[in-house]
Structure 1
Amino acid sequence: MIKSKLPTIISCSKAQDSVTWRLDIAADLDYFNGHFPEQPVLPGVTQLDWAIKLGCEHFGYPIDVATLEVLKFQQLMLPGSQVDLNVSHNAAKAKLTFAYSDGDKRFASGRIALNSEAAPFTNSTDSH
């Protein structure tokens, strides 16, 4: 797990088993340095780290990933963009499903299986 700083959160909307954050992918984020000089792109590992951090925090899980499932990176996430990160929760299977998008444009998606011992703490009082 990398120790990435979260991007600026513009807004957050919550439903029963899902949450969507609108994120500002600022051009000055350190993650663009050297990745790549000709056309900076946000590394997939950073996108994954943000989904894990935000999803686990919101749903009250400790960050304890067992496996990653159906991980897909469909389009490049470029500096200066805004994207939606949707994370849904399957409590019975201790899994989080995430997707980055902007309207009809899909950037990345996948499923995060948490270790079975990683039960949620309690109902989250998440401030995001």
Structure 2
Amino acid sequence: MDYLALHNIAEEKVISQTENEVELEYYIGEECDFFNGHFPEIHLVPAVAQIDMASYFSKKYFGTTRFIESAKRLKFTCPVKPNVSLRMNLKYNQEKKSVTYKLVSADGEKSYSGGTFVISK
């Protein structure tokens, strides 16, 4: 089963794309399974799920592996709640085998998370 369908995430729309950078927009509704069991009183997309989405899209658009060796400068600045449109920007540094991602609201008003991770070579 496809990753997005598995997690009940709407299909992404490519906003812009080059060889080493892509900007995507997608919607996470309340039926997304990332909300199951994580803070039962308040539904939030866990930090690990945000990084998981970044590694999924990195593999899809840059052909990387999904195994993350290390991460640095990860910041989670605002909780991602259900029923929100998101934009994710990914930049792939082939030489360093690293991906820098930024997750913001579709209108760019809110910054949710960002950072850099090194993928398995």
TM interval, short-chain normalised: 0.7 to 0.9
Shift of 1:65: 1.7
Q: Which is higher, the Rg of structure 1 or of structure 2?
A: 1
Among 4, 17, 20, the alignment partner of 2:23 is 20
Q: Superposed, which structure 2 residues align to 1:86-97 within 5 Å? A: 86-97=89-100
> 2:102 is matched with which residue?
99
Q: Provide the aligned length of Structure 1 versus Structure 2.
A: 114
Shift of 1:23: 1.3
What SS does structure 1 have at the residue aligned with 2:92? strand
Shift of 1:61: 1.4
Look up the equivalent residue of 1:105 and give its one-letter code: K
Shift of 1:94: 0.7
2:7 matched to 1:8? no
Ranges in structure 1 where 5+ consecutive residues have no aligned partner = 119-128
Q: How far apart in 2 are the matches of 1:62 and 1:33? A: 26
Among 96, 115, 118, the alignment partner of 1:113 is 118
Aligned-residue RMSD, C-alpha: 1.8
Shift of 1:91: 1.0
Shift of 1:10: 3.9
Structure 1's consecutive aligned runs of 4 or more residues displaced over 6 angstroms after TM superposition are none
Q: TM-score, normalised by structure 2?
A: 0.85
Look up the equivalent residue of 1:54 and give its one-letter code: F
What SS does structure 2 have at the residue aligned with 1:9? coil
> 1:126 is matched with which residue?
none
Shift of 1:56: 2.1
Q: How far apart in 1 are the matches of 2:119 and 2:19? A: 20
Q: How far apart in 1 are the matches of 2:67 and 2:30? A: 30
> 1:62 is matched with which residue?
65
- Report sequence identity in percent: 25
2:48 matched to 1:45? yes
